[in-house]
Chain A
Amino acid sequence: MARVPVIRARGEESRYQDALAEGRILFQVCEACGAAVWYLRTVCPVCMAASLREEVSAGLGTVHTLTTIHRAGHPDRAEDVPYTVALVDLDEGIRVIGDLTSDAAIGDRVRADVRPDGLAFALDEGSRA
């Protein structure tokens, strides 16, 4: 991933970014209803409980959908075109977004490379059928 837009994270957003910089994908599990929650919330979006336990994802999941972008959505990615971005369903029950750096399709198993500026998914060779 090339240069990315300047991040102005606040509150729980900066906690997420700080974890990313340390190589961890944070998500939450609601201690009241058990819902898996991404991105970080202050209140559970399912049951409104305020007790959300932060956990770290293993970064393994399945491609739900993707698109290859030929016209950069931000000037900072102009040199990257075409680049592919995917929604990935991680095994912990959360859906995240990330770059897709290998030639994967919907339904393929992928593994996240956690970079300070975001997630980059590639085919998970270990789980290939």
Chain B
Amino acid sequence: MTGLRGEVAIVGIAELTESTGERSPAGMMAEASRLAIAEAGLRKEQIDGLFTTTPYYYAPSLTFAEYFGLAPRYSDSSVIGGCSFEAYVGHAAAALAAGLCDYALITYGSTQRSDGRALVSGAEWLEYERPYGLLHPISPIAMIANRHMHQYGTTSEQFAHAAVAARQWSAKNPRAPYRDRVLTVEDVLASTMISTPVHKLDCCLVTDGAAALVLTTAERARDLAKPPVYVLGFGEAADHRNITGMPDLVATRAADSAERAFRMAGLGVDQVDVAEVYDAFTMSLVVLLEDLGFCEKGEGGPFVESGAIAPGGSLPLNTNGGGLSFLHPGMLGAFLLTEAVQQLRGEASERQVPGARTALAHGMGFTLGGHATVVLGTAETL
């Protein structure tokens, strides 16, 4: 066991999950932040570390500090895609442990669904990929999926099982928009083909959403309102931005980030009670499950087909329905963490994994180019 195991804790969380169109992205972040700070029993003036990004603002931490009325002495708007928020947990832990801030706020907000087709990504195209009209990020994921199918014999039916499992979990989540609508493998395969082999229902939802988390040192956490959820380990790894630069299309650096997180936590993958793994697409989820060690490389298809990730299976995964069946407001990373915290507090109601003491949250960025893994635990795991 090395590093910052158990040194910091998550002490407040909030999620906004309705697509009302009544708040701006910064307005959603402010409301989520207010709720998370209040839940922790803190005052806004105590927040002195700010960790945020969103595609809506060029300088997200400045924009949000101004909007919400903060004057952080430590701020971080690193962008490694949707996993930026798992990375922020590690960055915040380091800053808190070093005394560079005392109370860290991580937040995200997006009005992606309300924006509809008006949403224009600010992301640049790689000059050399630009002429070919890849549909981002779906076509790069499709290329990864086709290679996986070619190399390991994975089938579209197997990928579809990941979407079906997510829908089954979402049935236990009163906030999930399609919780009453049963999804079958046949439904996924019959949905519109977007970029072979990616069907519409292999893709995540498009929703609004905001989330916030407050972190502090374990010592300060003891006096606060909620039972602390401890950061046991974290790790990052990143290596590409564009699909032409992906070193190996079927094996990602999630293996490295997870290894770093598990090493710090002093735990193995078989000791994870509940896992929240970035599921923007069924295909990317299958690759990540392999790289994180939940099954062998190349066995992701049979693994999800076996029912392992459905309710009642061997791996409680994406217990709120995930990006595939609950919410995906552009970037999912913060919501993987908030669900993991709810599970470890025992607050997940019908979807609660009984007795969960350890949780893994793994985010990926862009098309499997950025990775950050966080291992969380209850006080018993310290």
Contact = CB atoms under 8 A, between A and B. Distances in A.
Interface of A: 1, 4-5, 7, 9, 13, 16-17, 38-39, 64-74, 76-77, 80, 83, 85, 87, 95-99, 106-107, 117-118
B361 to A, nearest CB: 29
A62 B243 CA distance: 17
Contact of A106 (B127, B128, B147): B147
A1 B129 CA distance: 14
Nearest to A40: B128
Nearest to A95: B244
Contacts of A85: 132-134, 139, 143
B352 interface: no
B193 A70 contact: yes
Nearest to B143: A65
A7 B127 contact: yes
A67 B143 contact: yes
B144 interface: yes
B196 interface: yes
Contact of A9 (B127, B138, B144, B244): B127
A5 B193 CA distance: 24
B122 interface: no
Interface string B111-142: 00000000000000111111111111011001
A32 to B, nearest CB: 20
Contacts of A76: 133
A71 B244 contact: no
B131 A1 contact: yes
A73 B127 contact: no
Instruction: Tell me the interface secondary structure of chain A in the complex.
Output: mixed
B131 A4 contact: yes
B194 interface: yes
A17 to B, nearest CB: 8
B243 A97 contact: yes
B151 to A, nearest CB: 9
Interface string B63-85: 00000000000000000000000
A5 B196 CA distance: 23
A71 B135 contact: yes
B130 A70 contact: no
Nearest to B139: A67
Contacts of A77: 133
A66 B146 contact: yes
Contact of B244 (A5, A16, A70, A87): A87
Contacts of B155: none
Contacts of A71: 135, 138, 194-195
A122 B136 CA distance: 24
Contacts of B130: 4-5, 7
Given A65-B249, A68-B195, A68-B196, A97 B147 contact: no
13 contacts: A7-B127, A39-B127, A66-B146, A67-B195, A67-B196, A68-B196, A69-B134, A71-B135, A73-B135, A87-B143, A97-B132, A97-B244, A118-B132
A97 B133 CA distance: 11
